[in-house]
Each structure stands twice: as structure tokens, then as C-alpha cells.
Amino acid sequence: MSHTNNSVVSPRRTKKRRLNSVSIPTEIVIYIVLGLFCLACVLPFLFVIIISFTSEDSIRQIGFSFIPAEWSLEAYKYVIDLGDQLWRSYFNSFFVTLLGTFLSVLICILYSYALFRPDFKYRKFFTFFCFFTMMFGGGLAPTYMVCKNMLHLSDNYAAMIVPMLLNPFNIIIMRTFFQSSVPESLIEAAAIDGSGEYNTLFKIIIPIAKPGIATIALLNALAYWNEWFIPMLYVRDANHIPLQYLLMKMQNQVDFLVKNSSMIGAEAANIMSDLPKDSLRMALVVLIVVPIACAYPFFQRFIISGLTVGSVKG
Amino acid sequence: MKKNKVLPLILSVAMLSTLLTGCGSKASTDAAATDSASTEATTETTTEAGADASVDASSLEPVTLKWYLHGSNVTDDAAVLEAANAYLTEKLNVTLEPIWGTWGDFDQNSVLAINGGDDVDIYFTCSWSADEYNAFAKKGAFVRLDNPDNNLVAEYASDLWSTLPEVLTNGAMIEGSDGYGVYAVPGYKDIATQNCWDINVPLLEKYGYTIDDIKNADYYSFGDILKTVKEGEGSDFYPLLVEGMVLERMVTNSVIVTGDSGTNNLLSYYIDPVDVSKEGPYGNKMLSKFETPEYKKFVEQTRQYFLDGYIDPAMGNKNQANDVRVAKQLTGEYLIGTQSYALGYETQASKERKFEVAMVPATPPYVDTTSSQGAMMAISTSSKNPERAMMFLNLLNTDPYLMTLLNYGVEGTHYDIVDGEAVFTAKRDDYMPWTNGMGNVTLLPPQEGQGKDFYDKFKEYYGAAKEVPNLGWAFDPTNVETEMGALSNVAEEYALALDTGTVDPAEKLPEFIQKLKDNGIDKVVEEANLQLDAFMSAKQQ
Amino acid sequence: MSQVIAKSKKPAKGSVNKKKTLALLSMVAPGAIWLILLRYIPMFGITIAFKDYKIYTKAPSLVNNIIHSKWVGLKNFKFIFATTDSWQMIRNTIGYNALWIVLGLVISVVFAIMLNEINNKFVAKSYQTLMFFPYFLSWVVASYFLLAFLDPTRGLLTHIQQNLGMTPTNWYNNPKPWPVILTIANLWKGIGYSTILYLAAITGIDSSQYEAASIDGANKWQQIRYVTLPHLKTIIIILFIMNVGKIFNADFGLFYSVPMNSGPLYPATQVIDTYVYNALIATNNVGMSSAAGLLQNVVGFICIMFANTIVKKVDPDSSLF
């Protein structure tokens, strides 16, 4: 329905948007203000990239600088030397992120859609049921015990996916997205047409709520991709280790050795002097961020495209 | 066979009596000294004793031991485990399941595992890891090994106990959940503390000084040397490269107080810098670290050095200090640094930094509680087979074959013996546990470059280290936890800045002391002294 | 009469309702099961906050340990209040949070509206992507970036000051500029995230409403005032309420890493989370750490309930529940 509408509507809309846009000076101000902010956002990342290609000697001599005294690939070489493990971990990360995002978005949509429905009998109860866990939790040790000993989330992919399947914050946000973008009359109309609840949700509501869903999907994907703490708790098997944890392990090791060198003795100094410490830290950031940054436009398409696609009109 | 059983029995009775009496007397010191001198003899007999155990092994139930280690870098342990398990099955009917904790994740994971009662038999523990020996023994995480009702040490580990230097067994005696006793097997590694001035020799000689000029000076008379070098090297050069807390201990001759606050000590225990086994200027007493005249004198001098441009301002910046210090050591951008020393460190440092480094000791090497508890293995109270775990630890710490196998890997695969030294192969990269974190390192062949007689020197150096009078004592903050929480924050705010001269002590030191008093430092000091007095009287009995 | 009709309709409607409720319940089910397993069951651990946590040596397991540990009442909470720093850290935590909630909200709503007004799709997309970059960087990495400017001997600003003949500021020793630095750091990192939430809400607005408004002769500002903002109202309020729930929690990484944990800065940088962290390194007490967490949550919970009640009175549709 929306597709046929679109093709007819879009030429007109482009024209209309131009008519309806802000004045040229205002737009210039917008360009500048946002442009400056974006510069501030991207500059540190350029800095990270530069440091990751800086030789450790240069860092030791002149500190962190945008213009290093000497360039080097040392840090990347160090990581590439991980060999198969690196690619294996890349795969694990992709797998966990894809499957995890799909499942968590599905659960989130289902749960928050029910909460959005004003005619759901237990709406209040389940809203509070979810919200309460946002405020209170049992803490690390009990959660760890439940996951590991009760649910046997240990050394498998489920161990990385299940603990993050649901985020109460995202459910509340998603519910709010539904509230602000889905007219209630639409659901009533669908019910009168005899559409089942699932059918209404998947065929009618989800296409309308695309920007919101894409946003939640993006946040979940980022959460899965960036997670290293949960794998650290539950995964020891090298075959299952995701990238972020693999790299974090290297990072934590360096930090720990620097801090405790006097207690560990000569060996610590030995390991430390071999490591491209600071450039490695930055190279790890680059290796983590680049793949997910590349996936970003995929989600963004749905968020921004909402601008022109519009929605199904009743 | 009979003979073999008699010797351990005698030893265990002897050990038991020393343990029970608290090991204070001179006589037992001598006895233990002869014991450790006869280490090699004992190790040689173990192979025989081991063969003896293998007869028993068939009558033992097969058991798997889960063993949680720290600081390992192990990605492939299959070959090692195959060999080790074959050997252990024959000896003790035991198979191993090591959990290779890394430097980064051990602290978080081991504490979770202990608190949650995970099924683990043996944990690495020590005075500086998150599963800190004293605190977790007190909490009930570890089995008391010399429990009079079930004395595992006497029964299964007398060989091991007789090989350990007395300072180690003394240091392991603490007040735990099950009374005063031993809760972990101490590892024989670099067990002494010796703080040294780390000297950049080529730079020193460039300005016409010699190492003797450093040896004959002390912190308060470094001024002239520092001035000359600073003037010669320019304003961007900071000759004094200090680690604030280490420097403070070195200059005031105080030792680390185990159990006292995580990052900053609040308490000082002064030792005699000439004979460390004697009581220091204040006797057997805990002092509020920041209120002593010694501390005041130290921070005033440090402030002067800072104002003269001898200390890099980055040293007072907690998260940055370590990074900058390590970097400057490697580039040689310093004249005098601080270093807590381990045998052979100067050789290693010279090699790494590519210039000659000398270590000038501030005190003789001494053994305090922290260093004697530097690496230990404890049997978890959740272990279903504490006896077997003890038997394993006994064998590990007395059997050179097993220790070398688990530590270095399989000979011919992970290392080769060339000229009496172990030379590692590329395979070793996949199997690199923390050498010092496993147990008795003196059983190992020396590593390449250490020299064939390394462990003779090692035993000589560490064997000569004397114990400080309060060895074994650790502060138990349970009664003053509220105060400790507040005080550690206060110390975090002032201590490092004062220790590195980045703030003015004339203004900040009185402010600091007042804030400590407001948050209950007096109560903490009083509690510490009560505990210390009780400990000392128990020890003297 | 109407009663009769209602009666005669009831069975049919009832069964429809029942079916609907069942369908909706089945949608909630996976999430609810997850919540029970991974959130509600572990809640027994909250009792640790009131216990002197010891390991039950006879049969150590988390449950046994908790059961056999002694109750100590509110003792574990004491360390937060029994310090001369209490006022300072609570003031800092609440003060920064309050300021940042307001600033963050205003700026990200403005940014989202601005982004929406950019006609060039490519520019809009690039801006939005770039805004999100700080989200990828950890506070540790961000702190190194800041250090490149503020380093006491090698920093960029230090060099500039030297070249201008000024005495360089020792940034990590002087708490005065830090409220501003921390505020900038926080906004820098968080704006992109909340902007994207608001932007998604804006793009979800039915565009016919703008058409109708513009036909009625509303100019751009009026459209924003009467169409965009009312639509954003719900999500603004929801995000606001949820942020209020975190008023007693501080972003540990920001306050610990960015100022390099430098002691002299504590008057400006000490917050509850950093205080608790330092205290727990010293005492290693599980009970105290869960007490601190519980306290933060209870305060947050009370604040949320309070905020929600007010919202409910004014605008029932926007309330959290």
C-alpha cells in the first residue's frame, strides 16, 4: 500500500519540501552549527587513527600528537599476528551481533507493542514489570550464578546473546515510538477488517514504525558489537571469543601490567617492553569501530528515509 | 618403603610443632634453614617418593582438579595437559583442568567464582590480587591447610613444607576463618623486597659522577647532582623519575602494610634501614603515615625538587604517571629513578633500555608480609577433594619434572635445554603461564641468559633476606570498614600529589591531616595497633 | 433497553477480547520470561546489601553464603554518609546530572530539528553519522585525546600558552575549569545518541500534518511549535523521566578517566560512583558495593515515581505508566 503511494507522491513531495523549507540564511546557520559540532565529533577519531599509525618511540618522545615524529605499522602487525584467532573472532562478533540484534529487536517489538496497546488488559502490570528491572537488579554475582549455573550459559554463543536480549530502556523507548507514530484508529480499523493481532503488527504497524525500529536495531547492534564484559564472564573457549573481548583482553593485560609491575616482577617488564602500548590501544579502537561504522548507513537509511517515505495514511 | 614413610612423618611432626608454636624461636629458624639448604636432596628423593605414591594411586578414586591460575597467556595447552595428566594419573590418579586466568580478567572472574561458590579446587591468591589472601581467608574462601582436625600439610605436604624457606611459611600464617594458621601454599619466587635507586649510568658519568656518588648520598643530598644534570640537559628534562608511593617508602624506610587500603597505604610501619630484622625507630607500632615528622620532611624536600624542575608534573597525575614513567625509563630520559628490585633486574633492564642501568639499594632486601605472600595457591572451600588438591600441590612444588612441564611446556616442543638453560621455541608463544605464579621456581631450569647458576644465586640472595619484625601480620579492616572507605578517598585526593611535590605541603599537608582526623584515622590507627600487639604476642609465644 | 443490547453483545465481544488479550499476552511472554529469569530471580542478591557477606565453608554456593551470612541492618550503607566528602560528592552527582539532563535535552532536540531541516540528504546523513562517532570511543580513549591538549609538559594548549609567554595552566591540578570540561565532554559524547532518538521520533511524524499546517499558512517556526514539538513531547518526557531515575548515578568512566583520576581535582570531579570505587578497593566488601548500588536505585526510583506522578496529573498520555 505504502509503496504504490510513494511512487506517486514523491515528486510532489520533493517540490513541496523545498517550498516548505527554512530560509537560506537559517539553513546556512544550521550547516555551520552542526558542522562545527560534527568536526568536534570526528576530530578525536582522526586522532585515534593517527596515533594508531604512530611509532611507540614517537609517543615516548613527543607524547600524543597530531603530527607524529615517526609513522609505524607496528600496532597493526601485532594484531594481525594473532592470525586465525583474529578472523575467528571477527566471525563470532558478526554472528553474535546479527543473531542477537534480530532476536532482541523481535522481543522488544513484541513486548513494547503490547504495552503500547491501550486496550491491553495487563498493560500497566507489564509496563511496571519491565520498568522495575530498569531500576533494580540483583547485582553481578547473582546474575552470574543464574546465567552460568542455572541456564548453563557458558562457552557457547547463547552465553553472549541471551544476557543482552532485552533492555527495559529500549522497550520504553519503542513503546513511545509506537505512541507517537501509530494512530490508534489504524489498529481499530484493522481489527474491524478482521486482521489478527500478529497480522496487524507485522503487516501494518511495523512498516509505519520503521524509523523507530531501525533506531532500536542500531542501538542493539552496537551493544552486541561492543560488548566485552559478558564474554569475559562466560566465555573461555578461544573458538567462541568475539573480537571486542579478544582485543579488550590485550588491552586489560597491558593496563594491569603497567599498574602492578612492581608486584609481578621482572616478567612484567619483559612483556611490557615488547608491546606497542599506546598505538595498540588506538589500533584496537580502529579495528572495532570501522566494521560497525560501515554498517551504520544501513540502519540510517531507515531512520533518515522516514523523512520522505512518510507513512500509511488511513 | 618403610624408610620413605618415616622421613616425611618426622618432618611433618617437626613442622606441625613449629606451626603450632608460631615459629618464633631461634632454634626452629635454624632447623628450617637446614631444611631449605637440603632442598635439592629432598627433591631428588621425591622421584622415589613419587614412585611410592604411584602404588597408592590405583587405590585412589580418579579425580579431576580445577585449577585457577593468574597471568597466563595460554592458547593451546593440549600437549602439555596430555603429558601432565598421564603423569598425574599414574602418580595421584588426578587429571588437571586448568583455568587460565589472564592479567586482565583474573581479578573480576576469580572473585565472582569464589563468592558464587563455583566448582574450583585450587585458586591462585596473593597479597595484591583481587582475591586477596588475608581478606578471602577471613571470609572463608580457603581451606585451612594445617587445621588440627584435618592437617593436610602434615598428612600430604610435608615434603613441600620442608623445601620452603621459613620466611615463607611464617608469612603464610594468618588469622583466617578457621583460626590462626596456613590457608595457602606460598610460592617460592622473588620473595624479598628491596627498593633501589635506578641509575642511568651513562648520563651520570657524562657529568663526571660515579655510582659511588649515589651510594654515598641519600635522597636529601641528591640536590647537587640533580642540579648539574638538569642544567646540562635543559628545561624539558626531569632527572628524578619517581613512583610516588615507592619513593615515600624508600625515603622514610616504611614497608607496605598488607590489608591497609587498596591503592594508598594509610598506615606506616618503620623498619631499621640497616638491620631490617630489628625494630625501627618507633618500635613495633603502626603510625598514621601522613602525620609523622619523617613524612613532613620527605614531602618538603620533594616539593623543593619539584619546584626546581627535577620531577615531571605528570608523575602526580595518577592515570598518567605509570605510562610516562615506563616510557621515560625506556628512552633513558631520567637520571635517578625508583625501582622495587628483583634479582637480576639490572641486567634485564640494561638489555631492554639499551644502556647501562645500575641499582643502588636503599635498604638490604627484606621479607615483609606483602612480599612473602606474593604468589600462593589456596584450596577452595568448595573443593570436593581438598586432600587430592594438597597432594597435587605437594607434587607440583617438589617434582622438577612436573613443575617444568606445567611451567615451560613439553621439552622438545616448547623449549629445549641448551647448555643447562631452557631455550624457548616458537611454540612457547601458545603456552606461556606466568612463571612466578605457579609455585617453586627453583625447581625450574634457568632461562636463556640467566646463567646456569641462576637458581643458586637466587637461593643465596633470597635466602639471606631477613624478615621484618611484623612478618605475617596483615591489617584486618573489618571493624573500621566505614572509616577505611572514607579515608581511602581522602588519601586518593592528597597522597600522590604530595608524594610527587605537585602541591605545596605548607598548605595541603595540614589540610590533609585535618581531613584524615575528621574521617577517623585515629580509630583506624588504634585498631591496627591493637591487632598488631595481639599478633606480636601470639607470635612470641 | 441499552442494557439488554449490551448483554446480548457481551458473549461475542468477550470472546474477541479474550482472544485479543491472549494474543497480546503471547507477545509479552518471551520478554516476560527473560525478565523473570535474568532480572527477577537474581534479585534475591539485593539482600547482600544488608548482610555481612561471608562464605559458608561447609557448602559454599551463592545462595548458601547469603543465607548463612549475618544480617547487619544498614551498616553497609554507612560509609556513604559517614565521610566529610558526603556533601561534596552528592552535590556533584546531582548537580552535574541536573545540568546535563536539561542541556542535553535542549541541545539534542534542537539538533534533531535542525537535522530534519537540512534539505541535502547527503549532508544530513553525513552529519548524523559523524555525530554518532563519540559514542564509539571509550572514555579512556577520549581522555587521551584531551591529554594531547592539556598535558602539563607536552600538551597543545600548554605549548600555545608557552609561546604566548603565559605561564601554562596545570590543568590536572586545578579543579576550577573542570565543571566546564566535564560538561563539554558529556555533551560531546551523549548528544549524538539522543539526537538520533529524537530524529527517529520526528521522522515518524505523519507528513500530512505538515502539509495541513502549511496549507493553513503556518510558517516553519509555527510548524515546529505546533506540529513537531507536540509530537516530540511524549518521548521528551519519557527520556526526561528515565534520566531523572539516574540522578544519583554518575558515569564512572567520565569522572574517573577523563580527569585522569587526579587527586587535586576531586572537589570538582568526585561523584558517588568514584567514591564508592575507591572505598571498595580499600575494603573489598561485597555488601558495601551492593548497598551503594541499592541506595542509588532507591533514590532514582523515588525520583521517577515522583516525576511520573506529576506528569500523570498534567498529561496522562505521556506518563511512563
A255 touches chain B (CB under 8 A): yes
Residue C32: per-residue pLDDT? 96
Q: Please name the chains neighbouring C, where neighbouring means 3+ C-beta pairs under 8 angstroms.
A: A, B
How far off is chain C from B113, nearest CA to CA, in Å?
10
Residue C46 and residue C166 share a domain: no
For the segment C206-232, the average pLDDT, to the nearest whole number, is 86
Reported as a single tens digit per residue, the pLDDT across A143-190 is 998 998 889 998 999 999 999 999 999 999 999 989 888 888 888 899
Residue B162 and residue B79 share a domain: yes
Percent of chain A with pLDDT over 70: 85
Q: Is residue C130 part of a domain?
A: yes
Q: Is residue C3 part of a domain?
A: no
Residue B408: per-residue pLDDT? 94
Reported as a single tens digit per residue, the pLDDT across A185-233 is 888 899 888 888 899 999 999 988 888 899 899 989 989 998 999 999 9
Q: Please name the chains neighbouring A, where neighbouring means 3+ C-beta pairs under 8 angstroms.
A: B, C
User: In A, which residues are within 8 Å of C20 by CB distance?
Assistant: 119, 191, 197
How many structural domains are present in chain B? 2
By the 8 A CB rule, do B487 and B519 touch?
yes
Question: What CA–CA distance (Å, rounded) separates B511 from B504?
Answer: 11
Q: Is residue B438 part of a domain?
A: yes
C54 touches chain B (CB under 8 A): yes
Residue B134 and residue B67 share a domain: yes
pLDDT confidence of C78, banded at 50, 70, 90? very high
Residue C49 and residue C88 share a domain: no
Count how many residues are written for chain C.
321
Residue C297 and residue C279 share a domain: yes
Residue B522 and residue B410 share a domain: no
Query: Is pLDDT at A11 greater than 80 in this prediction?
Result: no
Q: Is residue C1 part of a domain?
A: no
The DSSP H or E segment spanning C315 is none
Task: Choose one of B462, B495, B526: the last residue of a domain.
Answer: B462
Residue B376 and residue B280 share a domain: no
Q: Is residue C6 part of a domain?
A: no
What residue in A sits closest to C248 (Cα-Cα)?
A: A135
Q: Is residue B6 part of a domain?
A: no
Residue B333 and residue B204 share a domain: yes
Query: Is pLDDT at A9 greater than 70 in this prediction?
Result: no
Considering only CA atoms, which of B335, B61, B382, B375 is closest in space to residue B207?
B335
For residue A57, give every residue at least 6 positions away whose Cβ sits within 8 Å of its Cβ, in sequence order, or none: A69, A70, B331
CATH, residue C238: 1.10.3720.10
Which of A18, A20, A27, A296 is the best substitution to test chain C (most C C-beta atoms within 10 A)? A20
Residue C149 and residue C22 share a domain: no
Interchain CB distance below 8 Å, A138 and C42: yes
Residue B11: per-residue pLDDT? 43
Task: Choose one of B435, B462, B489: the last residue of a domain.
Answer: B462
Residue B247 and residue B184 share a domain: no
For the segment A6-34, the average pLDDT, to the nearest whole number, is 64
Residue C296 and residue C209 share a domain: yes
A135 touches chain B (CB under 8 A): no
3-state secondary structure A206-273: HHHCHHHHHHHHHHHHHHHHHCCHHHHHHCCCHHHCCHHHHHHHHHHHHHHHHHHHHHHCHHHHHHHH
**Dihedrals phi, psi of B73, to nearest 5 degrees:** -130, 75
C282 touches chain B (CB under 8 A): yes
For residue C180, give every residue at least 6 positions away whose Cβ sits within 8 Å of its Cβ, in sequence order, or none: none
Question: What CA–CA distance (Å, rounded) separates A33 from A254?
Answer: 40
Residue C211 and residue C289 share a domain: yes
Residue C19 and residue C85 share a domain: no
By the 8 A CB rule, do A166 and C239 touch?
no
Interface of C with A in 76-115 (CB under 8 A): 111, 114-115
Q: Is residue B332 part of a domain?
A: yes
A265 touches chain C (CB under 8 A): no
A259 touches chain B (CB under 8 A): yes
Question: What CA–CA distance (Å, rounded) separates B150 from B383?
Answer: 15
For the segment A278-294, the average pLDDT, to the nearest whole number, is 84
Residue B322 and residue B248 share a domain: yes
How far off is chain B from C283, nearest CA to CA, in Å?
6
Q: Is residue B104 part of a domain?
A: yes
A264 touches chain C (CB under 8 A): no
Question: What CA–CA distance (Å, rounded) separates B459 from B464?
Answer: 8
pLDDT confidence of A20, banded at 50, 70, 90? low
A17 touches chain C (CB under 8 A): yes
User: In A, which residues are within 8 Å of C144 by CB distance?
Assistant: 51, 64, 278, 281-282
Question: What CA–CA distance (Å, rounded) separates C285 from B129?
Answer: 15
Q: Is residue C138 part of a domain?
A: yes
Residue found by looking up cell 621455541 in the block? B425
Residue B530: per-residue pLDDT? 95
Cα-based distances in Å from B525 to A312, B286, B461, B476: 74, 7, 34, 12
* Burial of A18 per CB tally in 10 Å (0-12, 13-18, 19+): exposed
C54 touches chain A (CB under 8 A): no
Task: Choose one of B441, B462, B483: the last residue of a domain.
Answer: B462
CATH, residue B262: 3.40.190.10
SS3 content of chain B, % helix, strand, coil (to 5): 50, 15, 30
Question: What CA–CA distance (Å, rounded) separates A86 from C275?
Answer: 38
Residue C303 and residue C170 share a domain: yes
Residue C162 and residue C145 share a domain: yes
Q: Is residue B35 part of a domain?
A: no
Reported as a single tens digit per residue, the pLDDT across C91-142 is 999 999 999 999 999 999 999 999 988 888 888 888 988 888 898 888 988 8
Count of B–C CB contacts within 8 Å?
Answer: 148
By the 8 A CB rule, do C172 and B502 touch?
no
Q: Is residue B12 part of a domain?
A: no
Residue C59 and residue C189 share a domain: no
Which of B482, B484, B503, B512 is the best substitution to test chain C (most C C-beta atoms within 10 A)? B482
Question: What CA–CA distance (Å, rounded) separates C215 from C222?
Answer: 12
Residue B87 and residue B162 share a domain: yes
- pTM of the shown model: 0.86
> Which domain, by its residues, includes C23?
14-71
C309 touches chain A (CB under 8 A): no
Residue B170 and residue B110 share a domain: yes
Q: Is residue C5 part of a domain?
A: no
Lowest pLDDT segment from A282-296, B105-119, B330-344, C45-59 = A282-296
How far off is chain B from C250, nearest CA to CA, in Å?
17
Residue B326 and residue B446 share a domain: no
How many structural domains are present in chain C? 2
Query: Is pLDDT at A15 greater than 60 in this prediction?
Result: no
Segment-wise mean pLDDT, segments of 10 residues, chain B, 541 residues: 43 42 37 39 40 57 94 90 95 94 88 91 92 91 93 92 90 89 92 92 95 93 94 92 90 90 84 90 93 96 95 88 85 92 86 91 90 93 94 95 95 92 90 91 90 90 90 90 92 94 95 96 96 87 72
Query: Is pLDDT at A49 greater than 70 in this prediction?
Result: yes
Residue C68: per-residue pLDDT? 92
Question: What CA–CA distance (Å, rounded) separates B311 from B236?
Answer: 10
Does residue B366 sit in helix, strand or coil? Answer: strand
Residue B3: per-residue pLDDT? 40
Query: Is pLDDT at A234 greater than 70 in this prediction?
Result: yes
Q: Is residue B38 part of a domain?
A: no
Q: Is residue C97 part of a domain?
A: yes
Residue B325 and residue B223 share a domain: yes
Residue C154 and residue C205 share a domain: yes
Q: Is residue C167 part of a domain?
A: yes
ipTM greater than 0.90? no
Residue C81 and residue C212 share a domain: yes
Residue B102 and residue B51 share a domain: yes
Q: Is residue B513 part of a domain?
A: yes
List domains and CATH numbers for chain A: 76-307 (1.10.3720.10)
Interchain CB distance below 8 Å, C83 and B314: no
> Which domain, by its residues, includes B95?
47-189+372-462
For residue B88, give every residue at least 6 positions away whose Cβ sits within 8 Å of its Cβ, in sequence order, or none: B94, B95, B96, B392, B395, B402
